[in-house]
Amino acid sequence: MTDRTIGYIVGSISSTSINRRLATALERLAPEGTTLVEIPIADLPFYSPDHDADYPQVARDFKQAIADVDGVIIVTPEYSRSIPGVLKNALDWSARPWGQASFDGKPTAVIGTSGGGIATAAAQQHLKAILSHYNAPTLGQPEGYIQSLPGLITEDGEVTDQQTAEFLAAYLTAFNGLVERVLSSREVVAA
Ligand X SMILES: Cc1cc2nc3c(=O)[nH]c(=O)nc-3n(C[C@H](O)[C@H](O)[C@H](O)COP(=O)(O)O)c2cc1C
Residues making contact with ligand X (CB under 6 A): 12, 14, 17-19, 77-81, 114, 116, 118
Quick one: 26 or 95, whose CB is closer to ligand X? Answer: 26
Taking the complex as a whole, the smallest distance from the CB of residue 77 to ligand X amounts, in Å, to 3
Minimum distance from CB of 149 to ligand X (Å)?
12
Write down the least CB distance from residue 85 to ligand X, Å. Answer: 9
Q: Toward ligand X, which CB reaches closer, 148 or 176?
A: 148
> Could you tell me the smallest distance in angstroms from the CB atom of residue 11 to ligand X?
8
Of the pair 99, 150, the CB lying nearest ligand X is at 150
Nearer to ligand X, 72 or 95 (CB): 72
Shortest gap between Cβ of 121 and ligand X (angstroms)?
9
Query: What is the rounded CA–CA span in Å between residue 96 and residue 94?
Result: 6
E strand segments, the chain: 4-10, 34-38, 71-75, 108-114, 144-147
Residue whose CB is less far from ligand X, 81 or 186: 81
Task: Pick the closest to residue 19 from 35, 6, 47, 38 (CA basis).
Answer: 38
Instruction: Give the distance from CA 7 to its chain's centroid.
Output: 7
Q: What is the dihedral of CA 127, 131, 136, 141, to 10 degrees?
A: 30
Contact 39, 69 (CB under 8 A): yes
Report how far residue 103's alpha carbon sits from residue 114's, in angstroms, rounded to the nearest whole number: 25
